[in-house]
Structure 1
Amino acid sequence: MGAGRILGAGSRWAGALLVTLTVLRTHLAHCMEPPEHFLYQTKHECYFTNGTERVRYLYRHIYDRQPLAHFDSDLGVYVVDTELGRPSAEYWNSRPEILAQQRGEADRFCRHNYGVAQTGKMVGRTVLPKVKVSPTKSGSQPHSHLLVCSVTGFYPSGIEIKWLKNGQEQTAGVVSTELLQNGDWTFQILVMLEMSPRRGDVYTCQVEHISLQGPLAVHWEAQSDSARSKMLTGVGGFVLGLIFLAPGLLIYLKNKKGRPVPQPAGLLS
């Protein structure tokens, strides 16, 4: 089941909105002075089951984040959310032309936009996630470390990310950022694991997403400080060897270039 709204289709709501503001102003006049600034919102929601086999349409009215009333296509009438919205809901339910307009929105608005979304490849579209694991030091504890699993560029937003240590799922010390939108219909998220690595430990970031045929696993293996030092020593020795080899090779090539080319013995007189 999904919900969403696509701009560019549907009907005009100016008449209903004007009536709502008029009723609200009348109602508030008997209670208190209206605030200097307020926010009035309307929200369209489409819920689809098995494509467009079953469609439910909701049209919500909200005043300063307080729900007033909403139309439910399953019921065919407006439903009161709070007492402040009761006069509006009763008025709309008494107008057959308003109810007829709203009852047709499941087809006119929801099903229409579902077709538009399919044409634009927004419905049924999937994008594979990119997964990268990298270590970073944590400043909170001197001997603790953080492994960061960066999962980027995936669509849709539903995703499951697990940390494993030597094949065992880790739940303690796992922290996740909020799901972030990239602005191009893709998402990204970071999931971090606090760890105390020992040499030979294998940490795995496992990602499950609808775009994948199976779980995607990216591994990171811990190395001891001595092993890391040996590796750095080897790399340093290799670099120093190149430094000393280069001048000798240049001198050799220079001397070879300056020598006369020997002639075959048969050409000497």
Structure 2
Amino acid sequence: MKLHNLIRVLAFSVSASLVIPTTATGAPRGFQEGRNSAVAPKWRNKELTFVLRRGDCQSRTYGDGRGESDCKNGNSRSQLNSKNKQRMGNFYEYAMDIWVDPGFRYNGRGWGKVNYRSRLWIAEWQRSDTIKNHMYEIYLDSNKGATFEDKVCFPPARFGQWNSFVLRVKWSNGSDGVMQVICNGKTIYSRQGPNAVPPGCGKPWKQQCKPELQDLGKPILWSVGPSLKGHGMNYARFGFPSPFPPFPDGGLTMKVRNLYLGRLRN
């Protein structure tokens, strides 16, 4: 049985446990500005506009006793978070249309010589109220475009155009887990089996994920909007001039519409 058919069949029996979708008008009901977001997006004509510049950071500490904050770590962020956190064992659909400024030019690199994936994310899934429990991200740069697990969702040639993104998933750490990512109507990534701990957790190219810290009992949080990852409080130890990585002077402008989190749709 094909993966997308398997997802629909299995979801039928559990759909009542899923969260309520966004409003029919497309307004992002069920979302709020992220706690660590420094700049709120603008909402107009059913479109969200995010503008992120280097140094757009929240000075509030994370509250976990480490004394860290986005400003200290060199993170820049403009994000919305889902209000309803998702649970293991349930089916969900995450969807949105994404527009990226056609003039955006960023190679994804930081100050160091080694860079595995772009330091810029435009959406992320992580376990709530934990550290080093990041699961999946949509990365963005002007070399590869937007990528999910190193698969291209849309290339730089489609900057300036609307692009659809859909993730259909049953979150699980067992054999019943399913995941399908569809971009512009084409499946770019699929997975059957465990998906609660992402591939490569603990490897250098998988940021903010340590196997020994995984807490599968925590709910899952979806964040939408750009987040530029810094070099941390110890940046000077590595010879870097700033915790904030290089970024274009004009920053990034991106738009999102048709934001959806809820039951699987046909």
Give yes or no for TM over 0.5.
no
Q: Which has the higher contact order (CA 8 A, sep 6+)?
A: 2
Instruction: Select the structure of larger CA radius of gyration.
Output: 1
**TM-score, normalised relative to structure 2:** 0.24
